Structure 1
Amino acid sequence: MDGQLLQTDERFRLRFSRQLAHSPEKVWRAITEPEHLEAWFPGRIVGEWVVGSKLQFHGEYPMMDGEVLAVEEGSLLEFRWGPDTLRLEIAPQGAGCTLTLTDTFDELGKAARDAAGWHECLDRLGDHLDGTPLRPWGDRWKEINRAYVEQFGPEASTEGPPDGY
């Protein structure tokens, strides 16, 4: 599993890096434009990608508010999603790029659950960019979650699956 669990101060971080065979520009569009976000992000984001702008997240979970914290066109997007902070960084690499997603949060017990979710989201993003048909949400979640439970340990696995998984 490519997700890493890190601890900094009182908070925890999940970090994923994916090599993508697509230009940074194409990946930037996929992480910022609504018609692409809906293919891989676990909810609809309402708001503009401007530092200080308020965001709303709608999906199969209670609506949450957020705020855009940092934007560097084509290379960095960071925002608060409820109590968590999500940071997406794009770095050119050869003919493609590396996308690094970092989720910073407070509750260790949700690490394996959220790692499985982000892993699945990034798989869907890769499929979307490649033009491959998208698997149904949750299709591999249980399998991926088991691997992260084993990798991170029981203390990082106290929160159960999302509804419907």
Structure 2
Amino acid sequence: MKKNTNSRLKIIKTKIIQALPETVFKALTEPKKITQWFQDEAIFEPRVGGKIRLVTLKEIHPEWKLDRDYTMDGIIRKFIPNETLSYTWKFNDTPDFSETTIIWELEPLNSNKTSVKLTHEGFTGKEKGNFSVDSHEQGWTEALEKLAKYCKSSPDTTKN
């Protein structure tokens, strides 16, 4: 079951993933795992105040018709293993895109499943092109599908 909300300044998505919260949290916080489903390069300091850097490389994604590589930097605001992750989200060289916030909330379900709630908030409504709310809405839909597929096939999906 998925729920999607796009209220112009906030995106909220919920997805049920066939994996334990531990597996999902590792996929969200371990650089080697992040690059398997989300971004081409990743740096992640797993603590409140730690840095996160995600890079999308133009040459790896010709189908996206990117004009350059994109680097997103942020600071970890909340880090509760297997439950909650929150960080700021700001593209380095894109002054038109103000800093926003990403919040991941994980809830364990029966049968080794996890409810994943993603909130992306802080949009001004002035973002355009690849940085618009609509573009992020589509991007997060695709990212959650990739996260679900990655976690389902992860070797530690059913380990306690």
* Poorly superposed stretches of 4+, deviation over 6 Å: none
Distance in 2, matches of 1:43 and 1:107, equals 27
Q: How many pairs were matched up?
A: 128
2:153 corresponds, among 112, 120, 131, to: 131
Aligned to 2:35: 38
* Distance apart, 1:107 and its partner CA: 3.3
* Distance apart, 1:43 and its partner CA: 4.4
Aligned to 1:98: 115
What secondary structure, in the 3-state scheme, does the structure 1 residue paired with 2:70 have?
coil
- Residue deviations 1:71-118 (CA, integer Å, cap 9, x gap): 111100000111121111100111211011111132335111111001
* Distance apart, 1:49 and its partner CA: 1.6
Percent of residue pairs bearing the same amino acid type? 22
Going from structure 1 to structure 2, the CA distance change for 1:100 and 1:20 (only over 3 Å counts) comes to same
Aligned to 2:102: 86
Bigger RCO (CA 8 Å, 6+ sep)? 2
What secondary structure, in the 3-state scheme, does the structure 1 residue paired with 2:7 have?
strand
- Residue deviations 1:21-50 (CA, integer Å, cap 9, x gap): 211111111111122211222343313121
Distance in 1, matches of 2:34 and 2:145, equals 13
TM-score, L = length of structure 1: 0.69
- For the 8 Å contact 2:39–2:54, the answer to whether it is kept is no
* Distance apart, 1:66 and its partner CA: 1.1
Gap regions ≥5 residues in structure 2: 58-68, 91-98, 155-160
Matches within 5 A, 1:13-162: 13-60=10-57, 61-82=69-90, 83-95=99-111, 96-108=113-125, 109=127, 110-131=132-153
RMSD: 2.0
Aligned amino acid, residue 66 of structure 1: G
Gap regions ≥5 residues in structure 1: 133-165
Going from structure 1 to structure 2, the CA distance change for 1:5 and 1:131 (only over 3 Å counts) comes to same
TM-score, L = length of structure 2: 0.71
* Distance apart, 1:55 and its partner CA: 2.6
Distance in 1, matches of 2:72 and 2:22, equals 28
Going from structure 1 to structure 2, the CA distance change for 1:21 and 1:50 (only over 3 Å counts) comes to same
